[in-house]
Homo-oligomer: A and B are copies of this chain.
Amino acid sequence: MQIIDGTIASPKGFSAAGLHVGLKKEKKDLGVIYSEIPANAAAVYTTNQVKAAPIFVTKEAMKDSKIQAVVVNSGIANACTGKLGMENAQTMQSLAASHLQVAKEDVAVASTGVIGKQLPMEIIEEGISRVDLQTQESYAFHEAILTTDTATKEIVVTEEINGQIITMAGVAKGSGMIHPNMATMLAFITTDAQISEELLQEVLADKTETTFNQITVDGDTSTNDMVLVLANGLAENPMIEKNTEAHEKFISMFQLVSETLAKKIAKDGEGATKLIEAQVVGALNGSEARLVAKKVVGSSLVKTAMFGEDPNWGRIICAVGYAGSHTDPEKIDMWIGNQQLLKNSQPQDFDEVIMKQTLEKEKINITVDLNIGEQCGKAWGCDLTYKYVEVNALYHT
């Protein structure tokens, strides 16, 4: 497998564009992904009971698991906008369909931004009419979906599967309201692989559990989250069948793309200066390992300790203790970087100089061994900083 430079339009038959239409002051705020032919599609959505209008529109479009185009706006979430919001999301779908000359039912819609504000539809209409997939740059799509993100988030990988080079590209936005079960997180993954929609959905659901659902910025699960995968089959590989080497290779590509996007989202959490990766081993099962890992990276006290570059294992073991997994409170081992802090829940001497260097880095690894089983899991988060408070306190509705 190879990581290459590229964009969401790198897989065969995809194009993309992004532009400024006026929902945000200056930054790009509308984007489109397009596939030459309808792609097999898979999606997962926010678990928040309060769902934004575009979620319903995309779910409807996904009934036949075929999507040919995606239209996304940033700046306004189109959530808590009632009947008019639903009509606007449907209109956005129709406008994109007619401009791109694809069936309305094959267009997915996504929005991210402020809750409770209606989309200004003239701006949306005028904006969509200016989309030109021939002349506009596909990287602009990566920018057009951002909100408080400080950087675009993407990865493109290639792999030979059954004699054909398959390309898979992912792009995401994150930043705030990032927690389990999809946060204000949008991710789009395109591939030219030939794979059935059922198998695609299975891979997506499976990998969402261990990647996108294992990141947390502030514990808030947003109303608009979505991961959408399009596989248009234009690489003309033989159809990927379940439990074959091709399937395994596809899963590996998908894992790398999802995990990379997830980590980039966590690292770019609002106000964050550090990516924190918690790995839990020795758990009874994988879901408990992931639960404990996520409680560790989700703890405000751990997050502030990492910001302060303090090896505060007390806060970490405290989070392990309240996570709700099976635990033997006397048998916990813990490391930050390669320095062991706890053995059988007892403090260990460590090298303070090395620890200081470890905590100064932009990525901090916390490892917890529960010593009661064989399973493991990871989660990713970020530190909690003055800047997080600033970003979210100074923001005014």
Question: Which A residues have a C-beta under 8 Å from some C-beta of B?
Answer: 47-51, 77, 79-80, 82, 114-116, 176-177, 179, 181, 218-223, 298-301, 304-305, 307-308, 310-315, 317-322, 327, 329-330, 332, 342, 345-347, 384-386, 388-390, 392-397
* Interface pairs A-B: 5 shortest CB-CB: A115-B314, A50-B321, A308-B393, A304-B392, A48-B321
- Are B318 and A222 closer than 8 Å at their CB atoms? yes
Q: List 15 A-B contacts (CB under 8 A).
A: A50-B317, A50-B321, A50-B329, A80-B345, A115-B313, A115-B317, A116-B314, A177-B301, A223-B321, A305-B393, A308-B393, A308-B396, A310-B397, A311-B397, A312-B395
Nearest CB in chain B: distance from A386 CB, A: 5
Give the number of copies in the complex: 2
Residue of B nearest to A217 (CB): B300
* Among candidates B315, B395, B396, residue contacting A220 with C-beta atoms closer than 8 Å: B315
Distance of A307 Cα from B392 Cα, bound (Å): 9
A321 vs B347: C-alpha distance when bound (angstroms): 41
Q: Are B116 and A347 in contact (CB under 8 A)?
A: yes
With A80-B345, A218-B301 in contact, do A48 and B318 touch (Cβ < 8 Å)? yes
Q: Are B389 and A389 in contact (CB under 8 A)?
A: yes
- Residues on B with C-beta less than 8 A from A48 are 318, 321-322
Known: A50-B321, A177-B301. 20 other contacts (CB 8 A): A49-B321, A50-B317, A50-B327, A115-B318, A218-B301, A219-B298, A223-B318, A223-B321, A300-B300, A301-B392, A304-B393, A305-B393, A305-B395, A307-B389, A310-B395, A310-B396, A312-B395, A314-B397, A384-B389, A385-B389
Interface centre among A48, A300, A305, A319 (most CB of B within 10 A): A300
- Give the distance in Å from the alpha carbon of A384 to the alpha carbon of B301 in the complex: 13
B308 touches A394 (CB 8 A): yes
CB pair A320–B50 under 8 Å, yes or no, is: yes
Which B residues touch A220, using CB under 8 A? 299-301, 315, 318-319, 322
Q: Give the shortest distance, in Å, between A301 (CB) and chain B (any CB).
A: 5
Contact of A392 among B218, B300, B317, B342 (CB under 8 A): B300
Closest to A320 in B: B50
Measured CB to CB, the nearest residue on chain B to A383 is: B393
Distance in angstroms from A373 CB to nearest chain B CB is: 15
Check B218–A114 contact: CB distance below 8 A: no
Cβ contacts under 8 Å, A317 to chain B: 50, 80, 115
Residues of B within 8 A of A385 (CB): 389, 393
Minimal Cβ-Cβ distance residue in B for A326:
B49
Known: A220-B299, A321-B223, A389-B384. A329 touches B114 (CB 8 A): no
Which residues of chain B have C-beta atoms less than 8 A from A329's C-beta? 49-51
In whole angstroms, what is the CA distance A262 to B322 when docked? 20
Partner of A300, one of B82, B116, B218, B386: B218
Assess whether B47 is in contact with A314, with CB atoms less than 8 Å apart. no
Cβ-closest chain B residue relative to A181: B322
A346 → chain B closest CB, angstroms: 5
Q: How far is the CA of A177 from the CA of B221 in the complex (A)?
A: 22
Give min CB distance, A216 to chain B, whole Å.
10
In the assembled complex, the Cα of A175 lies from the Cα of B81 at a distance in Å of 38
Beta-carbon nearest neighbor of A300 in chain B: B218
Which residues from B are CB-within-8-Å of A345? 50, 80, 82
For A304, A310, A320, A346, the residue with the greatest tally of chain B CB atoms inside 10 Å of its CB is: A304
